[in-house]
Structure formats: structure tokens, C-alpha cells
Structure 1
Amino acid sequence: MSEEFNQEKTPEQGKKVKKEKNTLAMLMSGVAGGVIVALFTGGIFINMMNDEQATTAEDSQQKEQAEQTTTEEVLPTANLTNQSSNSIGSAVEKVSDAVVGVSNIQQISLWEESDAAGTGSGVIYKKDDEYAYVATNNHVVEGAQELEVILTNGEHVEANVLGTDALTDLAVLRIPNDQVETVAELGSSDKLTVGDTAIAIGNPLGQDFAGSVTQGIISGLDRAVDIDLNNDSQPDWTTNVIQTDAAINPGNSGGALINTNGKVIGINSMKIAQSQVEGIGFAIPIDDAKPVIDQLETGNEVVRPFIGISAIDLSTVPQRHIQETLQLDESVEQGVVIAQVEPKSPAEEAGLKQYDVVTKVNDKNIESMLDLKKYLYNETEVGEEVTISFYREGNLQTATLALSNQNTK
């Protein structure tokens, strides 16, 4: 699923599960280091030497023709370059005033006054008769006691959080609209192709470099990035993101990734934080972000189906426990082992118990908790009945349960 706050601020800690099997975790950061990309175009230089003793009229005519041809070939190229620069400049001008700073204000200690714990970016995407609405990253606003939006005119405006969602790393803020003149136009990310121009706008390293613009291309689409919310080295979610080589630095998170028409195609979110890696940044596709933003704007959390279990992947269970405690034979290789069933949850009502090994939901094979969450969140709805296939003491059984709302469990 960054940095200013993913690395600027440690997420909420969860209990770490002891593992008897090593797990490889990918450390992601949204704000570590920038990339300077230089493009060099080479020219062909031809040295022509004249014979000082004998130069014919035919030679002179050929030279003039060559110079005319060279001029005709170079001028269109220069015009194309100017057109490209003008296109990018126009796109940036169209949306830049809608990309704002977001200051996360916290009291660091009892003896100190509240101060900005970090600064990210945001995008004004909507305005009504009273308010303007800002989309940003969840990690930008996480833990804030107060929030300020810094407009491009330098004004600091108090902001209210309408809703946040950790899994998609999105948040929506609201500010008074009296000083807001520009609203970003949301485009579409579904029709992007690798190689398209991508332009990132944000506030790298804080307000000193507010409104910075970096240009690159769409490097990849539908990239899967694992998100570990509780720092237990196990993915809690896998998010699909746009990969770009446009420089994304500390403070860029929550800013806009736009196309050459000045339309927002993504919300900048993170970057791989490894010293040997350059030019790999990620943005949340705007078509994925829109439905989440719509829900958050209403002041509600994102509704997701809920079963009511905590579980671990069967692949992490020592072999002796698979045989002795779970009583599984070698034919059962994948699934999740229920560690706890929440009281009054759909799982409890369906009769699921600790040590049950869930292997299927409906016809979907479940190999991990990530599989289970992805299937529930993407393929089912609250109130829907699903069939759970599970092993108990080595025997295959099924149970039917009605999914509830995760946020009203």
C-alpha cells in the first residue's frame, strides 16, 4: 500500500507473533530520497573539409542543398520539443493551485507546545457552497491532534478529518471554501498505458519546496504492494498501484499524479526505501480511490464484510502441530488456522472454533489470511451468505454464515 508519516511516524503497533519460519518482508517508504533523471539527446556532427585548391560550383550547390535539408529536419524537432514543454506547463498550471500542503500537528511531550510532526500534500477535488474537500493519504494525517491545510497563497487553514482508511491509505479532509479558487479535475486511471507521461505535484521536504513538479512516465500498471499495518512482518493487505519514475520525495505523499491534460490519475503514496533503488514510486490509481473517497467524504468508514476471526497461515505452523494439534494429513497444504473467534460474530454464530483450518470460502481456495481478506473485500458484500469449508480434527466440514459490517461488529 510512505514516508513522511510511514517513516516519519511509526504506525500503531500490534502484538508480534512468534514465528518458527522466516518471513521475507518488503520495507516500503513513501518519502525516502529523490531521483534526478537527466535525458540526453545525441546529435550527429559531420566535419566537412573543403579542398582549398579546387572547389567546383557543383560542390557548392550540393552543400547548399544539404544545409537546407538539415534546417528542414531540425526545425520540426525543435517545434515538437516546445509543444511538449508547453503541454506539460499547461497541465501543471491547470491543477497546481489545487495541490496543497497538509500539516500534522501533535504535542510531542507534556512540556512542549504542539508542533507540526510532519507535512504531506493533498488534492482539492471538490467544492460546494460552504466547504472544499481534500484527498490525501491516511498516513499523512494519522495521529494528528490538529490538522492544517496550507494553500498555495501561503494561508494556513484549519482542517477537519471526515474519514480515513488504512488499507487503501486514503483520507478526506474538509476546509472552508472562501479562499479556494481551483479544484482539480479527476481523470481516469483505467486507460493508462506504460510509457504515458506522468507528472507529480507536491511539497517535498515541506513548505520550503511547496508546489514542486517532477516529470516521468508510467513505469508499470497493476503493481501489487503488500501492506503491513501492525508491523508483524505479515501482509494485512495487498494494494494495486501505479508505478512511476517521477520523483516522489518526503512531503509528496497525498499529492497529485496528473497526465498531460492536467487531470488527476493517481494520489501519490509511497516509494521503495532502499539505497540501491532509484525511480520506483507508487500512486493509488484514481479509479480505485474514487469509491473510497466518496465513502469517506460522508464521514463514514469504508464498509467491508466481516467474519470475526483472527488466524494465521497454515504454512507458518510447525509440522508437529499440523499433525498432532490440527490432525491434518499431508493432502492439506494450504489454509488458515483460526486462532480466535470473536464473540457474537458471524463466525461464532456459524459454529467455527479455535484450531479450525479454513481452506475455502464458496469456491475460492484460501491459502492465506491475505487471500481471505481479498476475496471478502473484493468479491462479497455485507449481508451476503457464504459457505466456509474447514477441517476440524482432520475432518472436512462446511458452515454457512452471513457476513456483517466490519465496522459495526
Structure 2
Amino acid sequence: MYPYDDYDKQNNTPRDNYTTRGSYQWNNPQQQVQWDGSTYRSYGSQQPGGYNSSSSGPEPPKGPKKRTVTKILCGVLACLMISAGSVGGFVALVNNGYVTLNGGAASSSASSSQAPASSSILTTPTTTTKAGSLTAQEIAKKVIPSVVCIQNYQVSQSLSLQRRSGSDESAVAPASEGSGIIISSDGYIVTNAHVVSGADSLKVILSDGKSHEAKLIGSDTVTDLAVVKIQATGLTAAELGSSSSLQVADTVMAIGNPGGLEFNSSVTIGYVSALNREITNSENGYTMKCIQTDAAINPGNSGGALVNSTGQVIGINSSKIVAEGYEGLGFAIPIDDAKPIIEDLKKYGYVKDRAMLGISGQFVDTMISRLYGLPVGYYVSSAVNPSVSAAGIEAGDVITKIDGKQINSSTVLTSAIAAKKPGETVSLSVTRPKTGKTFTASVTLAQSTGS
């Protein structure tokens, strides 16, 4: 399932759950690589062949033993000089680049006394360093002051705990906790909508421990984004980057409060596992293309920052897969998609001029189509837009086309609606499986406030 991972302090569990998906089994056996290096063999010393003289002349006279020893010593010294000269010459050839060892090119300026330069285990010959890249320590130092803890207090929760414990309000624990990112020095903070959902009051705790009461400026359940504000100035605002420049395998850092305030300002490091992962909100059917990362994201990290190698926020951590057998599958809302939503929430308290069809249901793919005898398209479970009902569309119908375009994926419908404004009309091709009836309906799009 795709639960949005705010932390439920009462039950010690994630609070919101998303659509259950089938499990995936990764079959990735570790490959063993056998290195076949050069084999060096030792050859025995070759004995020189003997000279068998056939001369019948007299044997030369034998000299004294001292003369024989002297000759032996001279021979040994000569061999040593020749060997030393050969080794010295060989080294000179290597140093001057005329001879290569193990297939590597020798530098003409290299000295035999110089050790090879050490390399980081984090780099490879194909690794490139982005301009302005910071060390992990520098990134953490830069961004941690911009990430806060957000506590969600609810009246029902407070009264229940007070009756049970007999304590005053100051001892009441928050209903849930999450994270947020300071986006302006005068106190505007962006977080997830599910972090502030149902709150009667909100508290923001800065990284230095100072706390402030927060006011909800706007919340959008469609994109799961919200903006709150505290009365403070001189805050350290995060630097917002661009998610469009991200590449798979880029290094990223997640900063937030896993488990709440107890583990505030925690840092995890990982990679961009994938881009444009389609995550569908089961409550409203809205699909967002998210950043997938293996940087550890836990309950309480919701609303926290996902930053790049230069310390810029490129994503807002929002969800993860929580299911047996899954690990390292976290998702963040791309900052490029979040920016216009944030601006609307600051100005209007809702997302302005965003259209919606006003139906809920699910996409029928080819497999479901075969199993249940339904056409491929969008199955209608219910409708909240009066124009949908007025056009004759009922629960159980399947929308197969929108403005003549075949609905053959889950994003076709949402993408077509996103390109329009409230009040505009769309033409829908509809099939009623119960009777086999097909018809065309014209529907006026409604305003989606996301509240």
C-alpha cells in the first residue's frame, strides 16, 4: 500500500493508508565474478650444454686453486653488473613510457618513487561532480535549520487523554507529528496536507528547539500539500531548486523527523531510484508523478525536505510503501510541481482555477477487462459533480474516451482534465456494461478547491 506516513503517536502507527497493491518479488541473484589475472610461472634454471672435445691434444695444465676462485668471483661480479644494468634500463624504459605494465599507460612524468593517487570509494571513472556540490556535512549544516517538526493537536484527542490521565493540557501528546520546510524568513512553512489534517491547533518546533503556534494558511488534499505560518522573523529559509534537472542515480538527502520530535533533524542519504513514478491517491483518484528514492523515509518524515548535492530542496517527502517484503521505496513530490500549488495556497488558501470531473472510481486495464467483461477505461463508482449526473452517467458506467482520446492508462483522464479550467466542457464516450448501451455525454468541469 501507499500510506502517507505521518506518525500516529497514540497507536504508534502510520495514520493514513493508500491503495493496496500487489507485491513484487525481486529476483536479483548476486552474480559471482571470477577474476582471471595473469599467471606468472617460475622456470627452472637452464643448464648450459657440455662441450665434449674430440681433440686428442694434451690436457691443459691445472692451475692453482686460488686462480680458479678468482675467476669464479669475477664471473659472479660481471653477472651482477649486467643484471643491475638490465634492471636499471628496464626501469628507465617504464619511467619514460616506452614500456607499460598490466596494460596501463605509464606517464612520462611519473617517478618510480611516487605512490599512485588515492581515490574515494564513492567515485568511479564515470562519476561527474556537479558544480557547487557540497559535502554531506555541509548539506546537513545548510538545510537542517530550515526543517521543522509540526505537531497536530486535536480537541477530541486532548479531552480523551486528559480524562484518562487527569493531567493538564500541557501534558497532552499531539495526535500526530510530521515535518515541514521553511520557505520564507517571515514564517511560511510548506508541509503535507495529511500532516495538518483534522488539526484544531498546530505547533511548530524549530531545529533549535524553539516552538511557535502555527496558523493553517491553506491545504490541498488533491496534491497532499499545505502551507502554515508562524509569527517569527529572521528564519533560515530553504533554497528551492529544480526537480527537472534530476537524473536517476543522483545522490539525495532526506531531512525530517522520523517518529516525531524524539528523532528530530534526522538525516538519511540515498539515491534517486526513479523519476515520474505515478502514485494515485485512492481517495480522489488524482495521480501525481513522484520522485522515488531509497533514502530512508519513515513515519514523521512527511513534509520534510529531499535535497540534492548542492543543498537545494528538490522534493517534499510524502509517502512510502509499507508492506512486508518492501524496503527503500519512498516517494517525494517534485518541487517543480509543488511550487505553483504553494503559491496558490499562500495567496488564496486553495488551488485556484483547477478543474475536476467530479467522479471517483478506478481504471480498468486489459486484465480486469478480460476478467470482468468490462471495456478498458475508467469505471465510475460515484459522482459529486451535478453535471455528471445531468449528462446521464451512473455508477457502474465505464468512460472509454475523453474528447475522442482513448482512456488506455490511468493518467489519460487526469491529464486531460488538468489541461482545462473550471467551467469548460469535455466530451465523454460512455459504455453501460449492464445493458451494453453506449452514448456520448457532455460534462461541465467543476472547481477543485482541494479542501
Q: Same fold by TM-score, threshold 0.5 exceeded?
A: yes
Q: Which moved more, 1:252-261 or 1:2-11?
A: 2-11
- The 1:145/1:68 distance shift into structure 2, 3 A limit, reads farther
Superposed displacement of residue 358, structure 1: 2.5
Question: Distance in 1 between the 2:120 and 2:372 partners?
Answer: 69
Cα deviation, 1:134-185, whole Å, max 9, x if unaligned, reads 111122222222111101221110011112222322111111123x431101
Q: Aligned partners of 2:438, 2:122: CA distance in 1, in Å?
A: 71
Q: Work out which of the residue numbers 136, 148, 152 in structure 1 matches 2:191.
A: 136
Residue in structure 2 matching 1:365, options 398, 401, 406: 406
Structure 1 position 249, deviation (Å)? 2.4
Query: Which deviates more, 134-143 or 351-360?
Result: 351-360
1:347 has 2:392 as partner? no
The CA distance in 2 between the partners of 1:275 and 1:314, in whole Å, is: 26
Residue from 269, 276, 281 that aligns with 2:330: 281
- After TM superposition, the structure 1 = structure 2 runs for residues 9-408 of structure 1, keeping only pairs within 5 Å, are 10-11=15-16, 25=21, 68-70=113-115, 72-74=116-118, 77=120, 87-106=135-154, 107-108=156-157, 109-110=159-160, 111=163, 113=169, 114-127=172-185, 131-178=186-233, 180-229=234-283, 236-303=285-352, 304-310=354-360, 333-336=375-378, 338=380, 340=382, 342=384, 345-353=386-394, 356-366=397-407, 370-371=410-411, 373-391=413-431, 393-407=435-449
- The 1:307–1:104 alpha-carbon spacing in structure 2 relative to 1, beyond 3 Å, is same
One-letter identity of the residue aligned with 1:73: A
Checking the alignment, whether the CA contact within 8 Å between 1:195 and 1:219 is kept in structure 2 is: yes
Aligned partner of 2:6 in structure 1 is 4
SS in 1 for 2:243: coil
Aligned residue for 2:300, secondary structure, equals: coil
1:71-121 residue CA offsets vs partner (Å, 9 max, x unmatched):
x422x659989x999622222222221111111123424325442122211
CA distance in 2 between counterparts of 1:320 and 1:214 reads 43
Distance 1:372-1:87 versus aligned 2 partners, 3 A rule: closer
Provide TM-score, normalisation by structure 1.
0.72
Alignment check: 8 A CA contact 1:5 1:139 kept? no
After superposition, the Cα gap between the structure-2 partners of 1:196 and 1:159, relative to the gap in structure 1 and judged at 3 Å, is same
CA contact (8 A) 1:350 1:399 kept: yes
Structure 2: stretches of 5+ with no match in the other structure:
24-79, 96-109
Aligned pair count reads 351
- CA RMSD of the aligned region, Å? 4.0
Q: Under a length normalisation based on structure 2, what TM-score does the superposition of the two structures give?
A: 0.66
From the superposition, tell whether residues 274 and 388 of structure 1 become closer, same or farther in structure 2 (CA, over 3 Å): closer
Change (3 A) 1:311 1:282: closer
**Deviation of 1:194 (Å):** 1.2
The verdict on how the C-alpha distance between 1:334 and 1:124 changes in structure 2, with shifts beyond 3 A counting, is: same
Rounded to whole Å, the distance in 2 between the matches of 1:266 and 1:5 is 20
Percent identity over the alignment?
38
Q: Deviations over 1:237-262 (max 9, x none)?
A: 33211111222223222111111211
Q: Is the 8 A contact 2:184 2:235 kept in 1?
A: no
Give the number of the structure with larger relative contact order, counting CA–CA contacts within 8 Å between residues 6 or more apart: 1
Alpha-carbon separation, structure 2, partners of 1:217 and 1:77: 18
Equivalence for 2:66 = none
CA 1:350 to 1:262, structure 2 compared with 1: closer, same or farther past 3 Å? same
User: How many Å apart are 1:391 and its aligned residue?
Assistant: 3.5
